[in-house]
């Protein structure tokens, strides 16, 4: 006859997984907008980026998923935060429209 073994589970209060959710460490995505607008202007593609964000529809969501998928390959957490902010912008139609307006305001003299 087999004896029943007692299993001792760890107490829940002793378990810790740290910060699992990236959003707690991420800055407000709008804090990157000026930097992004400047980069796009230097590259000469701010109008193209505005047109993409304005009319891309479901392609924005696909681009957001590609950004999310590439995030683990980014080295620093600061760069990772920017990639996450970009993905968030691409997923949110209202945020994308606000960034388009921001880009167009930057283009005006």
The per-residue pLDDT for range 43-73, each reduced to its tens digit, is: 999 999 999 999 888 899 999 999 988 888 8
CA distances for 21 relative to 14, 26, 57, 92, angstroms:
20, 10, 27, 19
User: What is the spatial distance between Cα 107 and Cα 41, in angstroms, rounded to a whole number?
Assistant: 8
Residue 84 is given by DSSP the state H
Question: Sign (positive/negative) of CA torsion 54, 49, 40, 22?
Answer: positive
Does residue 83 surpass a pLDDT of 70?
Answer: yes
Q: What distance lies between CA 55 and its chain's CA centroid?
A: 20
Q: What is the pLDDT of residue 33?
A: 94
Q: What is the pLDDT of residue 16?
A: 44
């Amino acid at each position: 006859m087999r004896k029943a073994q007692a299993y001792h589970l760890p107490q829940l209060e002793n378990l810790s997984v740290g910060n699992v959710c990236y959003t707690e460490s991420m800055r407000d995505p709008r804090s990157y907008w000026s930097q992004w607008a400047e980069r796009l202007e230097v590259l000469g593609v701010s109008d193209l980026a505005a047109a993409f964000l304005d009319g891309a529809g479901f392609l924005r969501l696909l681009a957001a998923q590609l950004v999310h998928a590439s995030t683990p390959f980014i080295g620093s957490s600061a760069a990772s935060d920017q990639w996450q902010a970009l993905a968030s912008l691409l997923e949110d139609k209202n945020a994308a429209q606000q960034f388009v307006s921001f880009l167009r305001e930057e283009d005006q003299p």
